[in-house]
Structure 1
Amino acid sequence: MMGLALLPFLLLLSLASTIQGQSIFDVTTYGAKPNTDITQALANAWTEACASTTPSTLLIPKGVYQLSQSNLKGPCKSVPIQVQVEGTLQAPIHTKGDGLVLFSYIDQLILSGSGVFDGQGKSGWEKNNCHKKKICTKLPMNLKFSFVTNSTVKDITSLDSKNFHINLLGCKNVTFQHVTIIAPDESPNTDGIHISSSEEIYILDSKIATGDDCVSVGDSNKQVTITNVTCGPGHGISIGSLGKYTKEKDVVGVTVKACKIFNTTNGVRIKTWPDSAVAFMASDMHFEDIEMENVSNPIIIDQEYCPWNQCNRKVPSKIKISNVSFKNIRGTSATPVAVKLVCSKSIPCEGVEVADINLTYSGNRGPIVSECANVMPTITGVQNPQICAKPATIGAPSTD
């Protein structure tokens, strides 16, 4: 009889429950409680979930939890492995570390839930000067994915990161869907999703409001698709900046389609540094079916990208841009120069197509115009403004 009486108690003590063949690892059974630091409880739950021989879910239930940098590292025996976040994870106020949650070397990860990754960024933004200085203070990100493959991130929210909200390095076949990113427009260097050295990355049906690029596609990327993303405020959707560092490689195959951009300092943009540290190609980049609302600089190729005068503008960029298209882009510009294509003097852009551009400007700084240098685009369909009607001013200040 004693053994039977103990049975329910022993079941309650079980750290993992199994539902329909899937193991559930709830951090509260590892000691996590709302309004306390759950770093160790999350680490313990991850260790067991990752080692599970059946598909597993690590669950963070509703509630507000404090969390220090957490490294969730594979490879895992559990395939797939799901991290379901329903609560709010708050980063420390201090500005130490690489990030709040760092996923690495995981195959078939599913990160999901209605939860929030709260970077508490206000404490770090005043120290974030990397947009002004080459040598600067590196601040922690909210989420970092390194060498993650065949994975999905969906429904989560990233709030007020001190640095990039989401960073990808060396990833392949990863989809972000229904992701929400929120930070004020004055938060510096808070790119929504930054991608480098990755391939087959899909950003779909998401809303990004931040203080820097909504999406930034860095160097060494292949096949990036950005579809149905709402961007604003922020600095728009950018490829680049490219050419700043010596180990950078080609960017091939970026598609931005069916997006809405509003109240941003740029729209869709390709940016490369003059006096590039290395020479490589950026090709097969396509921007189509984009709606602009009160956007400064809606369409840009800027191969003289040199914010805060951190470079030698007199030496042309060595990045070769080719096979680029801007099609069916419409809406309102907040600046009279609505289309500006400035390519490298030493390696002019090739294969640039501009079709059906219908932008209007209602400000008092003159008529709407398009300026170009070192490019001869193929132009078809509606032209408002008339594409490349004016030569671009060389050496003009870059927008950040």
Structure 2
Amino acid sequence: MVLDTLRLDFVTQGHIDTITSLNSKNTHINLFACKDVLISNVKIIAPGDSPNTDGIHIGNSQNIYIVDTHISTGDDCVSVLPGSQYINVTGVYCGPGHGISIGSLGRTAGESVSDLYVKNCRFVDTQNGVRIKTWAVDAKPGTVSRVGFEHIEMDNVDNPIVIDQEYCPGGGCSKQESSKVQIRDVKFNDIRGSSATKEAVTLKCSQSVPCQDIELKDIDLKNGGPGGPAVSLSYNVRGRTYGIQNPPSSVKPPVASSTELEDYSSTELEDYNWY
């Protein structure tokens, strides 16, 4: 039985505008195998403790635009699932909810997400801010690539910036296994505000396929809760940092010659837009 409030399958050139979805039994708006769809000026509302009430669910879709939308729900405000590419999320208010998430990936071989751009969004009282999640247990190879998060405001968010390649929501997963999903070319730019926990930035990448080309520029996140100053935790990450780094970043630079590093231009981040 399908419990989604609005589901679009195999739709090309669609526009959802100026509607309100209230207290969905499951996902509010679900897109599968869609192309060239615009979602604008939509309001999505459900209690913060309502399970599996994702705001907008996107799978196997291309050229999806979500703009000027308010999402208050009990799961991901926007979830981007395998097979999706060229997804643009701009001007979204998220809260309560679990944030904007890529994944999870790694359950089936060959899963991928690419070319996701999230800009000018605000997160208030959410469990996560911007997140990438992949399975480690019984994991299959896949990729996440060409992702940009920029000009993001966090207000009392538990985990503002997260890469979790040990995703295991039910608990009890083996720590001996490692995700086989390669995450690369992910940019975090101008993300500011307050974390509700001490761990404002957590980049927990795979030991077998470490994250590559991760960039952090002008990160300014303060701990608004207990535990002292905010911290940034990084595991198996190779990348670069620029500008403000509050909390101080522990991202390690890529293995490269000094000439290659000198030739690298930080202005690439400003040009990182495929739309």
Task: Judge same fold: TM > 0.5, yes or no.
Answer: yes
CA contact (8 A) 1:275 1:318 kept: no
1:343 and 2:205 are equivalent in the alignment: yes
Equivalent residue for 1:200, pick from 63, 88, 93: 63
Q: Larger RCO: Structure 1 or Structure 2 (Cα < 8 Å, ≥ 6 residues apart)? A: 2
1:161 and 2:24 are equivalent in the alignment: yes
Shift of 1:365: 1.4
- For 1:372, the equivalent position in structure 2 comes to 234
Shift of 1:275: 2.6
CA contact (8 A) 1:297 1:337 kept: yes
Q: Give the CA RMSD over aligned residues.
A: 1.4
Equivalent residue for 1:296, pick from 154, 158, 161: 158
Shift of 1:359: 0.9
Shift of 1:377: 2.2
- For 1:145, the equivalent position in structure 2 comes to 8
Equivalent residue for 2:72, pick from 181, 184, 209: 209
**How far apart, CA to CA, are the structure 2 residues paired with 1:211 and 1:349?**
29
- For 2:117, the equivalent position in structure 1 comes to 255
- For 2:42, the equivalent position in structure 1 comes to 179
**How far apart, CA to CA, are the structure 1 residues paired with 2:180 and 2:31?**
25
CA contact (8 A) 1:306 1:313 kept: no
Q: Deviations over 1:155-207 (max 9, x none)?
A: 01111111111111100000100011000001001110010001000100000
- For 2:174, the equivalent position in structure 1 comes to 312
**How far apart, CA to CA, are the structure 1 residues paired with 2:46 and 2:239?**
37
Q: For structure 1, list consecutive stretches of 5 or more residues without a partner in the other structure.
A: 1-96, 99-139, 391-400
CA contact (8 A) 1:236 1:261 kept: yes
Identical pairs, percent: 52
1:287 and 2:141 are equivalent in the alignment: no
TM-score between the two structures when normalised by the length of structure 1: 0.61
Q: Would the alpha carbon gap of residues 144 and 356 (structure 1) be closer, same or farther in structure 2, given more than 3 Å must change?
A: same
Equivalent residue for 1:383, pick from 227, 233, 245: 245
Shift of 1:316: 0.5
- After TM superposition, the structure 1 stretch with the greater mean CA deviation from structure 2, 268-277 or 190-199, is 268-277
CA contact (8 A) 2:54 2:73 kept: yes
Q: For structure 2, list consecutive stretches of 5 or more residues without a partner in the other structure.
A: 253-275
Q: Deviations over 1:184-235 (max 9, x none)?
A: 0010011100100010001000000000000000111110000000000001
CA contact (8 A) 2:238 2:251 kept: no
Structure label with greater radius of gyration: 1
Shift of 1:247: 5.9
Shift of 1:278: 2.3
Shift of 1:238: 0.6
- The structure where helix makes up a greater share of residues is 1
Matches within 5 A, 1:254-273: 254-273=116-135
Q: Would the alpha carbon gap of residues 389 and 195 (structure 1) be closer, same or farther in structure 2, given more than 3 Å must change?
A: closer
Q: Would the alpha carbon gap of residues 320 and 173 (structure 1) be closer, same or farther in structure 2, given more than 3 Å must change?
A: same
CA contact (8 A) 2:134 2:181 kept: yes
Secondary structure at the counterpart of residue 136 of structure 2: coil
- The structure where strand makes up a greater share of residues is 2
**How far apart, CA to CA, are the structure 1 residues paired with 2:31 and 2:213?**
29
Equivalent residue for 2:89, pick from 226, 234, 240: 226
**How far apart, CA to CA, are the structure 1 residues paired with 2:126 and 2:239?**
25
Equivalent residue for 1:275, pick from 120, 123, 137: 137
Structure 1's consecutive aligned runs of 4 or more residues displaced over 3 angstroms after TM superposition are 310-313
Q: Would the alpha carbon gap of residues 186 and 219 (structure 1) be closer, same or farther in structure 2, given more than 3 Å must change?
A: same
CA contact (8 A) 1:276 1:319 kept: no
Q: Deviations over 1:15-73 (max 9, x none)?
A: xxxxxxxxxxxxxxxxxxxxxxxxxxxxxxxxxxxxxxxxxxxxxxxxxxxxxxxxxxx
CA contact (8 A) 1:323 1:350 kept: yes
**How far apart, CA to CA, are the structure 1 residues paired with 2:138 and 2:71?**
30
Q: Deviations over 1:334-353 (max 9, x none)?
A: 00100010100000000100
Across the two proteins, how many residue pairs are aligned to each other?
A: 252
Equivalent residue for 1:236, pick from 68, 75, 99: 99
CA contact (8 A) 1:251 1:281 kept: yes
Shift of 1:314: 1.9
Equivalent residue for 1:331, pick from 187, 193, 214: 193
TM-score between the two structures when normalised by the length of structure 2: 0.89
- For 2:184, the equivalent position in structure 1 comes to 322
CA contact (8 A) 2:67 2:92 kept: yes
Shift of 1:389: 7.7
Shift of 1:310: 6.2
**How far apart, CA to CA, are the structure 2 residues paired with 1:311 and 1:154?**
42
Secondary structure at the counterpart of residue 307 of structure 1: coil
Q: Would the alpha carbon gap of residues 389 and 375 (structure 1) be closer, same or farther in structure 2, given more than 3 Å must change?
A: closer
